Amino acid sequence: MAKKTMTKKTLEKIDTKVQETLARLDVDMVGVVRIDALKKNKLAQAAQKLLPSVKSIVVFGMEIYPEFLELTSPERAMGTPNLNELLTRHNEYLRGRLLKAGYDVAKASHQAGLKALPLPALGPAVDGRFLEAVIPYKQTAEAAGLGNIGMSSLLITEKYGPRVQLTLCLTEAVLKSTAGKPQKNCRYCNVCVVKCPAKALGRPKAGEAYALNKYACRTYVEAAGGCSECMRVCPVASPRYQ
């Protein structure tokens, strides 16, 4: 029995240099999902397809400022300025910071002789047939204990509600998991469903977190030049409701 415990401890030896790098990152949220804890589920398989020897997935999050979100609108009169573009530029800045964090972790991994794959902050490659990401950022963040997926299909965090940009870095480094008790930040208030201008959101079936018609959402967003209503109207951690 003692021998078994020791073997487990040896296997769980944390890669300290990479772990220390996480504490120095200039981002608002950092989480870690350990591949061995995922028990070969869909997320583990997706990560292993990208980096077969992956041991940990690091999730980074940056707060989207509510000031920008409040200026957005899903409707626009012909010729008027598109203030949605201010949010787009803001998100570009946040993605730059997230990308840097991903590359910092990758660099620390490489210096420790370990492989790493920092993923794009704009989002992963998507299978256009099903609009499915090769690895889902929001579900990974949920598995890392950073929040839960709400009825809007967005990650709902305790501190920033749905106002977060995410990215990931896969690494061979063994890191401390941040997964804890599942969070319940979505209030199931239905506001996002009612306010969705494309009627792309609906009541989820039992056992499912959300019901989103991805094609209806994408078509609307492209035609309107942006839409963030489901994020804007969510009451969780929103200054609009304080």
Interface residue list for ligand SF4 (CB under 6 A): 150-152, 156, 186-192, 196-198, 200-201, 217, 220-221, 227, 229-230, 234-236
> Based on CB atoms, which residue is closest to ligand SF4, 91 or 171?
91
> Based on CB atoms, which residue is closest to ligand SF4, 20 or 222?
222
Give me the least distance between CB of 177 and ligand SF4, in Å please: 26
> Based on CB atoms, which residue is closest to ligand SF4, 30 or 192?
192
Instruction: Using CB positions, name the residue nearest to ligand SF4.
Output: 150
183-186 long-range contacts (CB < 8 A, ≥24 apart) are 183/142, 183/145, 183/146, 183/147, 183/148, 183/156, 183/157, 183/158, 184/148, 185/147, 185/148, 185/150, 185/156, 185/157, 185/158, 185/161, 185/236, 186/148, 186/149, 186/150, 186/151, 186/152, 186/156, 186/236
> Based on CB atoms, which residue is closest to ligand SF4, 101 or 151?
151
Sequence-distant (6+) residues with CB within 8 A of 140 are 33, 43, 57, 59, 166, 168
Give me the least distance between CB of 33 and ligand SF4, in Å please: 22
Give me the least distance between CB of 178 and ligand SF4, in Å please: 22
Give me the least distance between CB of 129 and ligand SF4, in Å please: 19
